[in-house]
Structure 1
Amino acid sequence: MAVDTSAIGTELSATRLVVDEGRLRFFAKSIGECNPIFTDRQAAEAAGYPALPVPPTFLFAIELDRPDPFDWVADLGIDLRHVLHGEQRFGYRTQAYAGDELIARPRIVDVYAKKGGALEFVVKETSVVRADGELVADLKSVLVVRHPEVGQ
């Protein structure tokens, strides 16, 4: 089933997350980050940071903190068994730290097809701001939806 292009412009539910030191340590270790500024508060402070800095790709995980992080995909009628993560981009504006309350505000900005409809692409942009409204980063992700029933 084709993704309805009327989804373009849809604002999805925002996600709030207070960044926790333990979570940052776990994330840094899980991605193999060895720089102690991401896991040791004293090392971060010695390097001039006010707290543990958020590792570069951590912001992607904010939306995964929702009770059902893929409900919007199902709402579009997409079968998760046919979804591939196609692209992820980060545009950083300022550094985030442990203790910050971050809000991720995603919206669907494009839906298009290739290969005669066998592949569809859903482009989502997410603005990540602090609770005071300061822009931290702009994220872009692309989901690829395979339609195996469509001949190529």
Structure 2
Amino acid sequence: MIDRQHIGRIVSRHQAEVERGRLRFFAKAIGETDPYWTEGERLPVPPTFLFCLDMDRPDPYDWYPEIGLSLPLILHGEQSFVYHKPCHSGDILHFTSRIEDIYDKKDGALEFVVRSTRVADGNGEPVADLRAVIIQRHA
């Protein structure tokens, strides 16, 4: 069982630059053709792109073993976003992720880890809050 002592633990901190080329590529990948998302010097960040930037580090799962998560047993449970203000290409964003909750269901057959990530701009102002529920299966 995942020890609930990890609730409140910060599991990652990193920063990422919002690159115009990556925004254009993302727009193309999702089939977006509106020039609003692809043309200009200061492109807006599409809503779910922040999740991509949150994963933009050498090993975004490096904290899993430390708390008892095993990647082969993981399911994606749920994901949500709360936006506070827009961001654009050229911005440097700061990501801080922490474990918000740990609980189990079905007599421990399923363990849930709720991870929240605060995204802030260079002034420390909140841009968005990301939330993900990670589920670990047990036989």
TM-score scaled by length of structure 1 = 0.87
Instruction: Tell me the residue number matched to 1:37.
Output: 36
User: Is 1:76 the equivalent of 2:75?
Assistant: no
Instruction: Tell me the residue number matched to 1:62.
Output: 53
Instruction: Tell me the residue number matched to 2:24.
Output: 25
d(CA) in 1 for partners of 2:136, 2:72:
9
The gaps in structure 1 that reach 5 residues or longer are 43-50
Matching residue's letter, 1:96: C
Q: Deviations over 1:104-135 (max 9, x none)?
A: 11100100000110001000111000011111
Secondary structure, aligned partner of 2:127:
strand
Instruction: Tell me the residue number matched to 2:15.
Output: 16
Higher mean displacement: 72-81 or 92-101: 72-81
Q: 95, 102, 105: which one pairs with 2:86?
A: 95
Q: 117, 126, 130: which one pairs with 1:126?
A: 117
Number of equivalences: 139
- The answer to whether the 8 Å contact 1:90/1:139 transfers is yes
Q: CA RMSD in A?
A: 1.2
The ranges of structure 1 where at least 4 consecutive aligned residues each deviate by more than 6 angstroms after the TM superposition are: none
The gaps in structure 2 that reach 5 residues or longer are none
**Identity over aligned pairs, percent:** 50
d(CA) in 2 for partners of 1:140, 1:147:
23
**Greater gyration radius:** 1
- The answer to whether the 8 Å contact 1:15/1:62 transfers is no
d(CA) in 1 for partners of 2:92, 2:130:
17
